Structure formats: structure tokens, C-alpha cells
Amino acid sequence: MKFISFLLLGTFVGCTTIHFRSNNSVPVTFAGNPNHRKEVSIEGKRDFYFWGIEPDHQEVFIDEEVRRAGFDGISKVIVYEQKSPQETLISFLTFGFYLPRSYTITGFTSGNTIPEDLDDSAPPTQKP
């Protein structure tokens, strides 16, 4: 019974860490920009394994995510990390060996898109 309790505890208490950064490939700001009037939402996911031990952290470059979504910049950025009921169920069923974690980047853009010069064929999901 102790083993099952340990597995349940490990499933709900993972050591997952996502670092959100920028490398300045497109403008990203927390302040408002009067030219940015279109609200966008970009969703993504990172995978962790072995109760969040591997990898010890993941990096998400906000500007690269915005660029992959096709926008030339973003302002009033808010980042949400979620653990959905489906992700919790998957973590539980795999005994914590696989821990998916989702995030959503929201903000405002000018609506201008950048040319499709990216090699990534699967851009992040965006909501209008």
C-alpha cells in the first residue's frame, strides 16, 4: 500500500520546470504597444519523463514561438502553464514516467505576418 501511495504522490507532485525566455528574434514586451490590437493565443507543450527528473528543465523561447505562429512581434505578454485533467490522467496511468505539460502565450500583435521561411512544419496552435 505504501508503494501505491508513493506512486500517487509522485504523479501529482512532479519536478517539472519550464523556463520562458527570449532571444530577441522578434520584439516581445510585457508593456502595451498602440499598434498591436489583435489578440492572439499560442499554445504549446513540453514533455518530461521519470517524475519530471528528465530533463531537469525545458526552455521555451517566447519570441521563437511567436515567430513560428507567423507574427512579427507581441506585446502585453502573459504566459500560463496548465496541467489539464487529461495530462494528469496520462501521468497517473504511466505512474509518472511521462509528464506532459502545456502552456499558453497570450498577447497582442499588429496582425502583420512574417514570411514563411521556417523549416518547422508544425507551428504552435493559435486561437483567433
Instruction: Please report, as a single letter, which amino acid is at residue 3.
Output: F
Q: What tens digit of pLDDT does each residue of 43-93 get?
A: 988 888 887 777 777 888 888 888 888 888 888 888 888 888 888 888 888
* Per-residue exposure over 94-119, b if at least 16 CB sit within 10 Å of its own CB, e if not: eebeebbbbbbbbbbbbeeebeeeee
Number of structural domains the chain divides into: 1
Predicted confidence (pLDDT) at residue 119 exceeds the cutoff of 50: no
Domain range holding 19?
Answer: 2-127
pLDDT given for residue 98 in this prediction: 86
Three cell numbers, residue 98:
511521462
**Helix (H, G, I), strand (E, B), or coil: what is residue 49?**
strand
Task: State the pLDDT confidence band at 128, using cuts at 50, 70 and 90.
Answer: very low
Range with top average pLDDT, 72-76, 112-116, 124-128: 72-76
Q: Percent of the chain at pLDDT above 70?
A: 75
